[in-house]
Amino acid sequence: MVSNTRPSRADYYRVLADALPEHALVVTALGNASYLWAATHHTPENFYIEDAMGLALPLALGLAVAQPTRHVVVVEGDGAVLMHLGALITVGAVAPRNLTVLLIHNGVHAASGGQVLTNPALDLAQLARSAGIGRAENVATPAAFDQALRAAFAADGPQVLVLSTEPDLDVVRPPITLDPVLTKHRFMIAIGAPRYVPTMFGGGRLKGD
């Protein structure tokens, strides 16, 4: 029997959780990208983006540069990438060897209500290659994702895997409260980053300075 139904985000997340290297850092976009990942594989090494569409990829790029000995994985949406296309182009220019980009290609702005993209048929893997990212491919099944993901972790990046996915508009309830401040502090401890101490009139300092 042939089915035209695309895999769910959960199908891909189960593969990611199983294949993720030790000490890898994972940045997830707002909405179900973060909620479902927290429900699937919650660790201090996860950074959950809240209310900042399109900024998961820029954050992950900075992490990949700052943490060159750790794998960095970012889950971003197709609509978010199109909103901040400069981030993808910058990834191609900087070319961090430890960055794997997972683009959820569901053809809609899921986090804001399911509005259809202006060009849902756009080949995002080809777009990534044109931005200077040599390793970019479209993925249509969890089995193909497993193979492509393990190959990505074994090779030098950056890598872009575009995951064909059914839209998931029903909000997933995460197992924890995704408070941005708590997420930040928990993640800073996980990567060994010094705490920033603000001052009343600006400037601030890193704790220990």
Which whole-number Å values give the CA distances from 123 to 58, 139, 206, in the listed order? 21, 11, 43
When pLDDT is cut at 50, 70 and 90, the band that residue 178 belongs to is: confident
**pLDDT on residue 106:** 81
Residue 61 maps to a domain: yes
Q: Identity (one letter) of the amino acid at 154?
A: A
Residue 75 corresponds to which tokens in the numbers above? 């889950």
Q: Which of 51-55, 103-107, 195-199 has the weakest average pLDDT?
A: 195-199
- How far apart, in whole angstroms, are the C-alpha atoms of residue 139 and residue 145? 6
In a domain, 200, yes or no: yes
Q: How many domains does the chain have?
A: 1
- d(CA 31, CA 29) in angstroms, rounded, equals 7
Distance CA 207, CA 22 (A): 28
For 141, list phi and psi in degrees, rounded to 5: -140, 155
Q: Dump pLDDT digits (tens) for 115-173.
A: 776 777 889 999 999 999 999 999 999 999 999 999 999 998 899 999 999 887 777 88
Q: Which residue has the tokens 């060159």?
A: 68
Asked whether residue 62 is domain-assigned, the answer is: yes
**3-state class (DSSP) for residue 103:** strand
Tens of pLDDT, residue by residue over 50-61, are: 877 889 999 999
Which range of residues forms the domain containing residue 99? 9-206
Does residue 64 lie within any of the structural domains? yes
CATH, residue 101: 3.40.50.970
Work out the mean pLDDT of the chain and round it to a whole number: 88
Model confidence band, residue 3 (pLDDT cutoffs 50, 70, 90): very low
- Would residue 4 count as lying in a domain? no
Least confident of 45-49, 105-109, 173-177: 105-109
Distance CA 46, CA 122 (A): 29
Q: Is the pLDDT of residue 2 over 50?
A: no
What is the pLDDT at residue 1? Answer: 36
pLDDT band at 101 (very low <50, low <70, confident <90, very high): very high
Give the lowest-confidence range in 10-14, 148-152, 157-161, 190-194. Answer: 190-194
Is 2 part of a structural domain of the chain? no
Classify residue 1: in a domain, yes or no. no
